[in-house]
Structure 1
Amino acid sequence: MKLSRLLKQYVLTRYRRTRWKNREALEAWQHRQVTAHLTETLKKSAFYREYYKDLRLQDWRDWPLMDKTRMMDAFDSLNTAGITKEEAFEAAFRAESERDFSPELSGITIGLSSGTSGSRGLFLVSAEERAAWAGAALAKALPGSLLRKHRIAFFLRADSNLYQTVNSKRIRFSFFDLIRPIGEHVQKLCELEPTLLIGPPSMLRLLAEAKRSGKLPIEPEKIISVAEVLEPIDEMCIREAFGREVHSIYQCTEGFLGATCDHGTLHLNEDILVIQREYVDASGRIFVPIITDFSRKTQPIIRYRLNDLLTLREQPCPCGSVFTAIDSISGRTDDMFSGIEELSGTRVPIFPDFIRRAVLMASGEILEFKVIQLAETELEVALRVTGEKTSVEQAVRSQLEDTFRERRCRVPQVRFVPYAFQPGLQKLRRVERRFAWE
């Protein structure tokens, strides 16, 4: 591990927060970082050199977009490590099947995305980039100073050298494989007594239930949600069980994108990347992020369009940070529901937030839920409730029908099925669309 790089990034991330007095100063600094980064990237990446040929460096904010499909198609000539897609996939799949995530290719860590968007992606990270990531992540995640001793319990689908980079004399990092039984996790957590507990909300919910039942007498100083959308219904359950606020880290294959401050507000990590906004609603609050990461050199991320839906916070955060504050990550563009307008027959997008709010407003007895749109006039709903289910189902049906009526859309048929979900390799998506828009 490049300890000096980790420590440098930790100090920069933790203590330069007040370096920029306003957004203008931050954006001017970002512009300098990006142009310097692009100058080097265009020398080393054959794909980007051709893709952005003859474009002015100063106009990088308007350059053509990248996405997952294009990146995977150009993988061999895009990355700067000389690693082919074939050998990267081979190494990544071998690690997944053997559950051994330590091997590297020429000193490069190979990772595999979860594939919730329909296809699996690859990420490449050098030792230098791993150390920088670890420094930034520790600065934003640790409860207290790096000089203290910490015990981190990290639940995720797959381990990685990226995460193991944080191990040191003072930091004990323990990976918990989501495919293992919950009873095994509870026993291991009791032995570890973590000071920092990190995992997807679906797993944190199970641990919260174990905590309430007396089977899990741990007292973590901080709890962080990752990998899935943190729904209000899950956040409340976890917070009440552990007596701690639930923080969030926003990370994906494409980078370390955001983290909550001490006030619990999610801020974008604009000290290591630029996130432009493609607004998708009339209010100018909901947007799709377009990422340019000026900290990654092995697999450059330039003007990369995600399919996440982020909602801007309306009020400034009390922490005073100039970094963009996010009210919520409401899901993915793939999971926007589709309604059919009654008179015109045109498609009307319905954001995931409207669906989850409809369900949660229906009854206070709902413990867990999942809503799947199978067709434009067909919804499948699964509920776990505390009391009698029939009345709750009726209330949920009414709320969902009203959500479509308010948008002058055809009212869908709502069918109820038993609720079932087990944390593991599959991420929990409480609002999901299972058909493609034409």
Structure 2
Amino acid sequence: MNKLKMVLPFIQARWFRRFSSRQALARYQQKALEKQYAYMRTHSPYYRQLPKDESFPFMDKQFMMTHFDELNTQGIKKEEALAFALASEKTREFNQDYQGLSIGLSSGTSGHRGIFITTEAEQALWAGTVLGKMLPKGNLLGHKLAFFLRADNQLYQSINSPVIELAYFDTYHPLAEHVARLNKYQPTILIAPASMLVALAQQIEEKNLALHVQQVISVAEVLEETDRDYLAAMFDLPMIHQIYQCTEGFLGCTCSHGNLHLNEDIVYIEKEFIDERRFYPIVTDFKRTSQPIIRYRLNDILVAANEPCPCGSVFQRIEKIEGRADDIFLFEGKNETTVSVFPDFIRRCLLFVPDIRTYQVTQHSPRLVEIAVDQLTEQQKQQIQEEFQNLAEDLKFTCPQLTFSVYEWNPRIKLKRVARNF
């Protein structure tokens, strides 16, 4: 029965949920929002006690965890859900439910772990929507998906059906084990964090792995432009797709032209602009009822693309996911001021230097930045120094001391190529 419930959202996402204009989309969203608000005022203890004339407040992860018991509509207690999710993490067994619900933990990239819950109906809705949007055009049946992630969840396993097979690959396991299993499994679609995809591509380059996939989808991490080009070459594909998915919802995915769009048919996004095109998304998921995601402020930095997409979709096109707010570097400016530098400017200091692909830049203090690269020549170090000095002069901050180290990839941790740790 749960598999049958996937059919309608699959059909809607793939063929029928189309909008002729932004105005038509806005009318659809308004009706969906009104329905969701009415439901929450009836079924969520937290929203039930709000005065009817009071607007719904903004939330974030801390708010969600503080009010978890009152927010959710399933009567689930935070401590019980957390204990269940942690037990699954420790045993690496993710096939059990809790009172008919799927419960998982966020990866805690921003420093705070969160709990997410989904009902069986929501799992079917999610699976049908993802498959409807992401399966290759004109080729629906018989796909074998290889799915890499830190933790499995019944939400992801809901994709399994008589016509589509999903195999979970635990990123805690050794890379050699994955290579052997992939050579035997031979998936048609490969889904993994960008850093894992790069590691697998390197195995292809070294002739240890032979795959003939129809589609590669990057998830969970920022997909760098250089990594995207390298992956396309190694997997012999015209483009690398992306899914913008987090515990707050299925927020975006690439279209047939490889451009990332927000999924505005299932989420409403308010934009908190940082500059002319960068913004923080404030998410309302109007398809999810067990755990309200209403006016949820993410600290992801999205860059809006203003030109229309050749695919014809009216959904907001995103040029890139630049990083998180807590990855904006902070340097010393003139007269004791602080200069904020977006992650993209830091990336460029490495991208302008030839023959650097895998790296990580970590700011330890306003005066100290660590550059981790696989192999680095003295000439490359000098070029990086010059790029940082040029950036400092352009943005008027004091250039920090740069230290260099060897890059070591840890597949158990979500990779952030640009990170600030103070």
Could you tell me which of 251, 255, 259 is aligned with 1:257? Answer: 251
Q: SS of the counterpart of 1:216? A: coil
- Give per-residue Cα distances to partners, 1:262-293, cap 9 Å, x unaligned: 10000000000101100012xx2000000000
- Specify the alignment match of 1:6 in structure 2: 6
Could you tell me which of 285, 304, 322 is aligned with 1:312? Answer: 304
- Specify the alignment match of 1:16 in structure 2: 16
- Cα offset for 1:146? 7.0
Q: Structure 1 residue 433 and structure 2 residue 382: aligned?
A: no
- Cα offset for 1:378? 1.2
Alignment of 1:55-70 (within 5 A): 55=53, 63-70=56-63
- Give per-residue Cα distances to partners, 1:374-430, cap 9 Å, x unaligned: 111211111124xx6111011111112221221111111111111111212x11100
Q: SS of the counterpart of 1:301? A: coil
| Whole-Å separation in 1 of the counterparts to 2:309 and 2:290 | 34
- The worse-fitting range, judged by mean Cα deviation, of 154-163 and 406-415 is 406-415
Alignment of 1:264-275 (within 5 A): 264-275=258-269
- Specify the alignment match of 2:391 in structure 1: 403
AA aligned opposite 1:408: K
AA aligned opposite 1:11: I
- Specify the alignment match of 1:276 in structure 2: 270
- Give per-residue Cα distances to partners, 1:42-79, cap 9 Å, x unaligned: 111111233x42435xxx5xx43111101100001110
For the 8 Å contact 1:143–1:196, the answer to whether it is kept is: no
- Cα offset for 1:116? 1.1
C-alpha root-mean-square deviation of aligned residues, in Å? 1.3
AA aligned opposite 2:12: L
Query: TM-score under structure 1 normalisation?
Result: 0.94
- Specify the alignment match of 1:300 in structure 2: 292
Could you tell me which of 361, 364, 368 is aligned with 1:374? Answer: 364
Query: Where do 4+ consecutive residues of structure 1 move more than 6 Å?
Result: none
Query: TM-score under structure 2 normalisation?
Result: 0.97
For the 8 Å contact 2:3–2:161, the answer to whether it is kept is: no
- The worse-fitting range, judged by mean Cα deviation, of 293-302 and 311-320 is 311-320
For the 8 Å contact 2:332–2:366, the answer to whether it is kept is: yes
Q: Structure 1 residue 25 and structure 2 residue 51: aligned?
A: no
For the 8 Å contact 2:150–2:171, the answer to whether it is kept is: yes
| Whole-Å separation in 1 of the counterparts to 2:274 and 2:53 | 27
Alignment of 1:312-391 (within 5 A): 312-342=304-334, 344-361=335-352, 363-385=353-375, 389-391=377-379
Q: Structure 1 residue 186 and structure 2 residue 140: aligned?
A: no
Q: Structure 1 residue 36 and structure 2 residue 23: aligned?
A: no
- Cα offset for 1:17? 4.3
Q: SS of the counterpart of 1:319? A: coil
- Specify the alignment match of 2:46 in structure 1: 47
AA aligned opposite 1:237: Y
| Whole-Å separation in 1 of the counterparts to 2:78 and 2:146 | 32
| Whole-Å separation in 2 of the counterparts to 1:132 and 1:223 | 23
Give the number of equivalent residue pairs. Answer: 421
| Whole-Å separation in 2 of the counterparts to 1:300 and 1:13 | 22
Q: SS of the counterpart of 1:396? A: helix
Point out where structure 1 has 5 or more consecutive residues left out of the alignment.
none
AA aligned opposite 2:304: L
- Give per-residue Cα distances to partners, 1:128-162, cap 9 Å, x unaligned: 00000000110122124575110000000000100
| Whole-Å separation in 2 of the counterparts to 1:272 and 1:5 | 16
- Cα offset for 1:4? 2.8
AA aligned opposite 2:372: A
- Cα offset for 1:212? 1.3
Q: Structure 1 residue 100 and structure 2 residue 93: aligned?
A: yes
